[in-house]
Each structure stands twice: as C-alpha cells, then as structure tokens.
Amino acid sequence: MQKFLVLLALSLFSISAASASLLNCSLNQAVDTAVTTSTVITCGGLTFSNFEVLNPTGGAAGIIDILAGSNYDSVTGAAYLNFNPNLGGSNEDEQFLFTVSGGVSQIDMSVGGNAASITERACANPIAITGDLAFLCANSTGTESESPLGQITVASGAPDQPIFSTPFTSTSPVYIFKDIETGANGQLSEFTQSFDPGASTPEPISMVLLGSGLLGLGLLRRKSRKKD
C-alpha cells in the first residue's frame, strides 16, 4: 500500500510539474541592469535582442533595465518580461526598440506607475530611426505600411492589453517600437509584457516529466487490474 501511494504521488507530481513550469529567462548580463545593443535575452524558443533606448526628453535618463522575474513557461513557450524605464518625474519621454525572434502570435502589455502610457507598434520589417519613416512600420519596398502587425496605447493601471487585434500565424522576427511617456505628476518604474509563440513544442525536461507521470499512472492501472 505504501509503495502504491508513493508511486501515485510521484506520478501526479510529474504531470503537474510538466504542465506548469516557469523557468528563468537566460541573460548575458545581470538582472536589474540596463539593456543595450549587445543584450540578448533568451526565453525558451524566443530571443530578444537589438535593444535601443532613444530620444530621452524632459529629464528622462534614457536607461531601461531588465528586471528579475522575467521568465517563460516551458510548456506553452510564453515569455514574460519585466522592464524598468526609469521615468521618475512629470513629462518624461523616451523611445524603446528591440527585436523578437523565434515566432510570436500575440503580445500583451500592462503599464505600472501613474499618469503614464506606452504606445507600442509591432512591425514585420526593421524600423528606421531616422527619416520620414522613423519609428513607423514599413513595407519591404521601403514605403510606409498601412497595416502594422499591431499597435496600441496602454495607460497606467489598465489590465494586460493585446497588441494585435487578433492572434495570427506565428511570425519571426517581429520588430518592436515603444513610445514611453509620463504626464503631469507622472512616474513609471515598471511595465510588463508577455509574448505568446502560439503553437510550441515543450522543452525536453517537460516531456520527460510528463512521460514519467503517464508511465507511473499506467503502471498503477496495470497493478490495479492484476488485483482485480
């Protein structure tokens, strides 16, 4: 009886661990430090790179930190990133760009602080930082795109908002632009984003855990049948 209970407990643990496994993203730098053009963040099958912070105004430091707690679900592949844009006063503004590789089908964003907002644009082609098309989505021909992958403005205190009106077939790479600003008496020390890759393949460790759990339950069922 004792062996039966132990096997049952291990089987259930394996299945539950495989179905809900948040793992820390891998960074090539320490957490709570500023992202730069050389920063690479890997969250399962998704890679975040080419970070740039541009045009700080109103006293903005022009520094955005990647925070601890950035992780990903090893089963679904969804990544969750936390950033600190270091906007501590009124009427501060800065632009933030980066690239997501590996395929995403939806992006959600929430904005902390107060009297702050972030306008985000997701593009299928690289985003220019100068010229007539600066910070706009462009077609492969170099003209302005009338339909970016997604665009939204999210204000402080609002729940997670989807960037894309509807999820679409997983696309890679996706180029991200953000205009981050505070209003009068505003401040913003954190915003969070989730990146959903859509259909994903669980990591080997999750497959092993799930397989172990199913095998254990199979053995329990077989043992039960023998007793009958």
User: What are the structure tokens assigned to 14, written together?
Assistant: 């394996």
Band (pLDDT 50/70/90 cuts) for residue 213 is very low
Tell me: the pLDDT tens digits for 63-120? 999 999 999 999 999 999 999 999 999 999 999 999 999 999 999 999 999 999 999 9
- Counted domains in the chain: 1
Range(s) of the domain holding residue 209: 2-227
User: How far is residue 163 CA from its own chain's centroid?
Assistant: 12
Rounded-to-10 torsion of CA 203, 200, 73, 41? 90
Residues contacting residue 9 through CB under 8 Å, at least 6 positions apart: none
Query: What global pTM score does this model have?
Result: 0.79
